[in-house]
Amino acid sequence: MAMMGQARAFFSLAKYADALVKYQSALEGAPDLIDPDPRIGIGCCLWQLGHRDEAQLAWKRSLELNPTSKMANILLGLYHLDQSSKYPSSQPEFQQHYKRAMTEYTQTAWKLDSKFPLTCATFGNYFLLRKAWPTVEKLARQAIEATDVNAIAGDGWYLLARKEHYEGDIAKATDYYNRADQARGGDDKGYLPAKFGAAQLRTLAADYEGAKHRLDRILQQNKSTEAMTLLGLLYAEDVYASQTAGLNDDKSTERKKAIALLENVRNSWKDAKKKTSPDSAVLLNLAKLYETDSPEKSLQCLYQVEQMEIDEVPDDQRPQDIDDESQMLAALRELLPPQLLNNMAAFHYQAERFGQAREIFQSALNACVKIGDKDSSVDTDALVTSISFNLARTYEAEGMLAEAKKVYEGLLERHPDYTDARVRLAYIDLRETGHSDDSAKALKALLDADPGDLEIRALYGWHIHKTKRRTMNPAEDQEQRHYKHSLQDYDKHDRYSLTGMGNIFLQVAREMRRDTDQDKEKRTKTYARAIEFFDKALQLDSRDAYAAQGIGIALAEEKKDYAGAIQIFTHIREALRDASVFLNLGHAFCEVKQYARAIENVSVLRHPLFPVHILTTN
């Protein structure tokens, strides 16, 4: 018995290897001893040393020798609970271990002694999952009051914290989480689930900086996927909040942190040992974070979510007798969330893969129909309207103007006040009629009906640009007056008008005389005026490629800074994807006598989608 006492002393000091030696010596000296049973202690030491399967064997042997051992029963229950946590709840392995833990071992321990603290704490977790809150509180307090083991008391406090957390009493939940953590050492030791719960409470109280601090501390101790996920989402929310508020704050650091954390979570899914399941929320947030700088990565995240959704489609809902793989995918997509398909198609549209975009937009519309067929109470009108508009834009991009007009007209039959559809129809009409008087009058009527709509004003400015009489006096320029009116009376931050103003001054400066010093000074000031407008647009949106290109052109034409212009044109080439950028690069490379690179850029010219100013070298 003295040997057993020494073993317990070593165990309480966390000297598990020394305790194991003493327990083994006690067993060798008294192999028939079962109360207290050194096998229980041997198993506990092995557990703490990371040898959990060996611990189970020790406890099973103890139970064989003493079937009424409440300690052996509850410890074997905890072993199987630990094993169940390694599997998603949907897998049969989870069910097998969880059932054995609760019905075969924990329930037996409860029948042997319903007041045994470890059994109370373990059963408390079971009732926690069932949301039986009065029973949870009773068992938790019983475990706390009846034990002299800090870890078991900590489990009781954690159960109480979870109960109060669920019921919304943040003050009590915070107190109990802290007690659970302190019971196991607190600070750099403590109980990670309690620390994580306290961090969650910080987010509920909108103390996001406090939550981040706690989660950072957790991750210094343990690379918990739950902590990485929550911390990644908090940094992502910083980025989204800045975007929603229209702020120009530099959130690149927060974006990088969010991506790094969520990618670490994503990579953990590939580790078979961790047995973690993919989480669509992580992927959707990554897609949102990637969408500006890395749209292809964003699209890949959405494809992964799509595959997860397809895998969840029940067998009895899957199409039958379809052998063609592409047809099967199209049929399955109609069973998926249309919002997901809409976003996937939008990325294909952005990358000018219009055929793929069209197919997925059509699948999204069919998915909306099937949702409505399943549940008539679901209002899919907003989704159908948005996706239909996107499909029509895709038809436009493919040159299928008749199909686009048909969709826009259908939208207007259902929603006569849908301005965006009217704007697109007006644009198509202007293109098809060559800005005829009738189409111009229709556009003017649209503007008069809603003079504050910036989309209509932008289209009207484009129409003026295509039809106006050129003048060297910006004050007499009809297009300039229109943009000035937009900025003064409707929105001083309208980037289209700011860029349009810059283009007007840029064109005037290009054509100005430079015979005398006075002419040259006036020309320089006009270029400076153009740059002012472009710079203002870039202050509002640093990714405005058209404004950036305007500055690049001014650098080349006025300052003869071809190296600076090339740097700008190269940077915006992928973002703008416009023939003008390649032509401007070609001209600039010619000026610095890099003819091979000039030819390389000019050779990829395409018809521009939008009217832009092209760099000249006269």
pLDDT tens-digit series, residues 349-373: 998 899 999 999 999 999 999 988 8
Say if residue 617's pLDDT is above 50: no
Residue 473 lies in a domain: no
Residue 76 lies in a domain: no
Q: Provide the pLDDT confidence category of residue 209 given band limits of 50, 70 and 90.
A: very high
Residue 573 lies in a domain: yes
Mean pLDDT over residues 572-588, rounded? 84
Helices (H), 378-418: 381-397, 401-414
Select from 161, 116, 162, 165 the least CA-distant residue to 139. 116
pLDDT at residue 32, rounded to an integer = 85
Residue 444 lies in a domain: no
Looking at per-residue pLDDT, the higher value among 106 and 574 belongs to 106
Rounded to whole angstroms, how far apart are CA atoms 558 and 574?
25
Residues 6+ apart with CB under 8 A from 229: 261, 262, 265, 279, 282
Question: Among 85-94, 195-204, 353-362, which stretch is predicted with the lowest mean pLDDT?
Answer: 85-94
Question: Among 121-125, 396-400, 456-460, which stretch is predicted with the lowest mean pLDDT?
Answer: 121-125
Q: Are 52 and 79 in contact (CB under 8 A)?
A: yes
Q: What is the pTM of this model?
A: 0.82
Taking the chain, what is the end-to-end CA distance rounded to the nearest angstrom?
103
Residue 535 lies in a domain: yes
Q: Are 319 and 332 in contact (CB under 8 A)?
A: yes
Helix, coil or strand: residue 4:
helix
Q: Are 203 and 230 in contact (CB under 8 A)?
A: yes
Mean pLDDT over residues 154-180, rounded? 95
Percent of the chain with pLDDT over 90: 72
Select from 123, 5, 24 the least CA-distant residue to 74. 123
Rounded to whole angstroms, how far apart are CA atoms 479 and 605?
28
Domain coverage including residue 543: 498-618
Angle CA 150–152–158, to nearest 5: 100
Identify the H or E element spanning 250.
Answer: none
Q: Are 340 and 302 in contact (CB under 8 A)?
A: yes
Q: The domain spanning residue 595 has which CATH number?
A: 1.25.40.10
Q: Provide the pLDDT confidence category of residue 379 given band limits of 50, 70 and 90.
A: confident
Overall domain count for the chain: 1
Rounded to whole angstroms, how far apart are CA atoms 249 and 285?
20
Residues 6+ apart with CB under 8 A from 534: 498, 499, 502, 547, 548, 550, 551, 554
Residue 586 lies in a domain: yes
Mean pLDDT over residues 521-546, rounded? 93
Q: Provide the pLDDT confidence category of residue 466 given band limits of 50, 70 and 90.
A: very high
pLDDT at residue 293, rounded to an integer = 87
Mean pLDDT over residues 103-131, rounded? 90
Percent of the chain with pLDDT over 70: 97
Residue 330 lies in a domain: no
Select from 35, 76, 33 the least CA-distant residue to 57. 76
pLDDT at residue 188, rounded to an integer = 78
- Tell me what the pLDDT averaged over the chain comes to: 90
Say if residue 252's pLDDT is above 70: yes
Amino acid at 165: H
Say if residue 146's pLDDT is above 50: yes
Residue 248 lies in a domain: no
Rounded to whole angstroms, how far apart are CA atoms 124 and 147?
15
pLDDT at residue 613, rounded to an integer = 37
pLDDT at residue 503, rounded to an integer = 95
Computed over its alpha carbons, how large is the radius of gyration of the chain?
Answer: 35
Select from 616, 606, 535, 539 the least CA-distant residue to 576. 606
